[in-house]
Amino acid sequence: MRTVAARSGALDTSDTPQGPLASRSLLDLIGNTPLVEIRKARDGVAPGVRLYAKLEGFNPGGSVKDRPAKKMIEAGIAAGALVRGKTILDSTSGNTGIGLAMVGAALGFPVKLVMPENVSTERKRVVAAFGAEMVFSDPMEGSDGAIRLCRQILAEDPERYFKPDQYNNAANPLAHYEGTGPEIWRQTDGRVTHLVAGIGTSGTIMGTGRFLKEQNPAIQVIAAEPEDSFHGLEGLKHMASSIVPGIYHERELDQKLGIATDDAYAMVYRLGREEGLLVGQSCGAAHLAALTIARTLTAGTIVVIFPDFGDRYLSTNLWLGWQKLP
């Protein structure tokens, strides 16, 4: 930091820079997201149970999906599968697409994304701001429809594209095994007893849970999913009625809980009003699952993954028609 010399008025440039040094790359800012304790939206939870949310919206692209986006692209470059002249292509319900678009822009690769047409307007605009091309699939087919259309596009011109394939790429859970899991272990000083997360690609819960169980096999890993196939929980999969990701291994879960859309929405509103956390619907679902587990305990430390913030859902059914309570 430069200061003005008291006598001469000349600039003194000898001071050591204060505060954190600037990052050389946007990619260095991905990860190391904070935990915050949930203190009010915890009805019926014993005082001896600590409940923490990991706020993945603090990633530069605004979600947990920045982590696998970075890892999958880096792995593609290292393997020689992604080279100059190729376009990054993948299907997404939104957040991974934003992560891929951001990382692609930072590294100078064009990006093409297949998304259900009904993903939020905010997500579409963010993807466009990063310069990525968008192709829209049938909104009634959800993420599975995007997967099928993406496969078709790739088959028509396979030499043109590098497809990270987030649903089957081992680099997806590896990003969380190397990042999210160790962060939670450090942030809780090894006291974490339960991990709760929603399942979409399943990379977050697979990789994070795998690392935490290696540190302490007694840690419980609990997944939240929509309670049925027709739901409004954007980004989450009802596994029994979906194309199951290759990286998903249900045997690694200790429990899986179905969450109703309306209940998840109601929890989103509570988290905003009571905790000051504006989050998305998948966060509401994950928190409900965490509360279900927490109410069965007398002591423990539960960490629930909040994948993003809620500003990218303000034009969706989550908020449309909602009226503020008196």
Number of H helices, E strands in the chain: 9, 12
Residue 277 token pair:
């956390």
For every residue of 138-186, DSSP letters joined together read -GGGHHHHHHHHHHHHHHHSGGGEE---TTT-THHHHHIIIIIHHHHHH
Alpha carbon distance 65, 79 (integer Å): 21
State the residue for tokens 């690392």: 211
- Side chain identity, residue 289: A
To the nearest 5 percent, what fractions of the chain are helix, strand and coil? 40, 20, 40
- Cβ count within 10 A of residue 79: 10
CA nearest 56: which of 314, 282, 210?
A: 282
Kindly report the backbone phi and psi dihedral angles of residue 61, in degrees, each rounded to the nearest multiple of 5, phi listed first.
-90, 0
- Catalytic annotation present for 25: no
How far is residue 51's CA from residue 39's CA, in Å, rounded to a whole number?
8
| Number of Cα atoms under 13 Å in the Cβ half of residue 139 | 7
Hey, what amino acid is at 235? Answer: G
Active site residue 241: no
From CA 106, how far away is CA 26, in angstroms rounded?
7
User: Which of 65, 112, 163, 237 does the annotation list as catalytic?
Assistant: 65
- How far apart are the C-alpha atoms of 21 and 284, rounded to whole Å? 35
To 5 degrees, how large is the angle CA 22–CA 25–CA 29?
Answer: 75
Tell me how far the alpha carbon of residue 185 is from its chain's centroid. Answer: 18
Choice among 63, 93, 202, 282 that is catalytic:
282
CB 71 within 8 A of CB 100: no
Structure tokens at 77: 């470059």
Which residues are catalytic, by number? Answer: 65, 282
